Amino acid sequence: MFKRRSGPRVPEVSVVVPAYDVAAYLPTCLDSLLGQSLEALEVVVVDDGSPDDSGAIAEAYAARDPRVRVVHIENRGLGAARNEGIRHATGTYLGFCDADDAMPAKALEALLGLAHETGAPLVTGNVARWDGEQRRPLPWMNKLHPQREAVAITDRPRLLGDVFAWNKLFRRDFWDANGLAWAEGVRYEDQPTTTEAYLCADRIGVLPAVTYLWRERADGSSITQQRGTLADLTDRWTTKRSALASVEAYGDAGLAATFRMGVLPGDLWRYFVHVPDCADDWWALLVSGVRELWGPQRSLTGSTLPPAQRLVGWLVEQDRRDDAALVSTYARDLGGPLPRVPLDDGGVRIDVPGLDPTTVVPEALRLRDHES
């Protein structure tokens, strides 16, 4: 069922909000959107067959604010819900917001202003983690959004690491012309689509200001808190393969190398922490995925991962489960940099008690100049 409300004929921005089992968070999300300084706004809430009161809450908002439109569908997952919302959106620009998150009051105005200023069909802003009250900056996102500017992806390859759907605006004609859509039936659907969008855009607007508040859910129920499961890891490899295929098809060797070694491994640490307690089939899948994407010719020892993660990555490549668990546990319990050992040639390597360094290739242990 689709319910249409009167509102601006052509909203400047349509924000699609998928809603599933988020009754506790949806009002805060919608209040943040309807409180935006940008008034020419449309909010399309997609009730994705939610078992709770999310659909009713959205309808109550639509009844009192003509900018809100509600779509009710059978449960099909996040990507499908976003795609359904796009089909009903009428704005010149598309934005997305997850129903348990929020946007600062001037976020859409700032993103739209940058889009107008630069002519960029895609603009992206900074993100902060948020517990409902306090914001926590993300240093790695700060590095990707150093200043207000417009860039080509070949000028800023690491921007491919900003994979999120919801801190961006996409011009609708750009979205449609390039056949963009969110992957359906898979977690981490953001990365393949945002990667493709970056590659299709002649320029990308980059905004250092925080335009999105990414909620930290204490109940552990968010998608990104399920990484220890086989289904999660399966989907993660699927989306990494898809994004890598797009980058390689683009045909720029430097961009592809930066993506494979500097962007694609970025979240592996979130999986490495599960090694000490993982199931056999999960470990086998981790090994096969790492070998497939990096393999012996492109070892993670050459990636931009920090030292402990490079070491764990190499141990995963070698299928040395016990040693990988040893390093992961030791690094976690230590809570800081691993011990350093000077080398005869003036270099420095890391050290883990119980791991025989003579059984490890030097490049998996050696620190780089900026790390020692």
pLDDT in tens, 321-361: 999 999 999 999 999 999 999 999 999 999 999 999 999 99
Give Cα 316 to chain centroid, integer Å. 23
Report pTM: 0.93
Task: Please give the residue range of the domain that contains residue 68.
Answer: 1-100
d(CA 35, CA 13): 14
Task: For residue 116, give the nearest of 152, 72, 157, 148 by alpha carbon.
Answer: 148
pLDDT at position 219:
62
The answer to whether 10 and 90 have CB atoms below 8 angstroms apart is yes
Which of these, 109, 199, 125, lies nearest to 165 by C-alpha position?
125
Residues 296 and 348 in one domain: yes
Q: Are residues 106 and 95 in the same domain?
A: no
Residue where a domain terminates, one of 200, 228, 256: 228
Give the pLDDT score at 143: 97
For residues 227 and 272, what is the distance between their CA atoms, to the nearest angstrom?
A: 10
Q: Is 264 helix (H, G, I), strand (E, B) or coil?
A: coil
- Kindly state whether residue 60 falls inside one of the protein's structural domains: yes
Whether residue 33 is contained in a domain is answered as yes
Q: Please state, as a whole number, how many other Cβ atoms lie within 10 Å of the Cβ of residue 179.
A: 8
pLDDT at 66 over 60: yes
Look-up of token digits 């009844």 = 63
| 11 three-class SS | coil
Beta bridge pairs of residue 106? none
* Separation CA 103–CA 28 (nearest Å): 10
Helices (H) and strands (E) in the chain, counts: 14, 12
Note the maximum CA span of the chain: 75
**Whole-number pLDDT of residue 220:** 53
pLDDT score of 295 = 85
Domain boundary among 203, 228, 253: 228
- φ, ψ (nearest 5 deg) of residue 355: -105, 120
pLDDT of residue 217: 80
Considering its fold, how many domains does the chain have in total?
3
185 and 110 in one domain? Answer: yes
- Alpha-carbon distances of 76 from 100, 105, 183, rounded to whole Å: 18, 31, 11
Whether the pLDDT of residue 21 is over 50: the answer is: yes
Amino acid type, 295: G
Same domain as 137, residue 79: no
Is residue 203 located within the same domain as residue 273?
no
Backbone angles phi, psi at 115, to 5 degrees: -60, -45
Instruction: Give CA–CA dist 68/45, Å, rounded.
Output: 7
| DSSP single-letter state for residue 210 | E
84 & 115 share domain: no
Q: 288 lies in a domain? A: yes
Residue 301: the pLDDT is: 97
Q: What pLDDT digit, counting tens, does each position of 207-245 carry?
A: 999 999 999 987 655 444 467 899 999 999 999 999 999
Tell whether 222 and 111 lie within a shared domain. Answer: yes
Which has the closest alpha carbon to 96: 168, 184, 19, 189?
168
Instruction: Give domain status of residue 284, yes or no.
Output: yes
Q: Could you tell me what percent of the chain has a pLDDT over 90?
A: 92
Whether residue 218 is found in the same domain as residue 291: no
Are the C-beta atoms of residues 92 and 171 closer than 8 Å to each other? Answer: yes
Contact 32, 103 (CB under 8 A): yes
Alpha-carbon span 126 to 162, nearest angstrom: 9
* Same domain? 93 vs 114: no
Residue at token pair 């859509």 = 181
- The 10s digit of each residue's pLDDT in 255-312 is 999 999 999 999 999 999 999 999 999 999 999 999 999 987 889 999 999 999 999 9
Q: Is residue 200 domain-resident?
A: yes
Three-state DSSP class for residue 116: helix
Same domain, 183 and 295: no
In a domain, 298, yes or no: yes
219 within some domain: yes
Task: Output the domain CATH number for residue 81.
Answer: 3.90.550.10
Confidence of residue 1 (pLDDT cuts 50, 70, 90): very low
DSSP 136: E
Last-in-domain residue among 68, 100, 132: 100
Among residues 94, 118, 122, 97, which one has the least CA distance to residue 35?
97
Residue 26 predicted with pLDDT over 90: yes
Q: Check pLDDT > 70 for residue 3.
A: no
Q: pLDDT value at position 57?
A: 98
End-to-end CA separation in angstroms for the chain: 61
Query: Does 237 reside within a domain?
Result: no
How many Å apart are CA 309 and CA 15, to the nearest integer?
37
Residues 313 and 358 in one domain: yes
pLDDT band at 372; cut points 50, 70, 90? confident
In whole angstroms, give the CA distance from residue 320 to residue 343: 25
Conformational region of residue 220, where left means phi above 0, alpha means psi within -120 to 50, and beta covers everything else:
left
**CA of 176: how far to CAs of 76, 82, 92, 172, in Å?**
22, 14, 11, 6
Residue 85 and residue 44 share a domain: yes
pLDDT at 282: 98
Average pLDDT, the chain: 95
Residue 80 scores a pLDDT above 80: yes
Average pLDDT over residues 181-193: 96
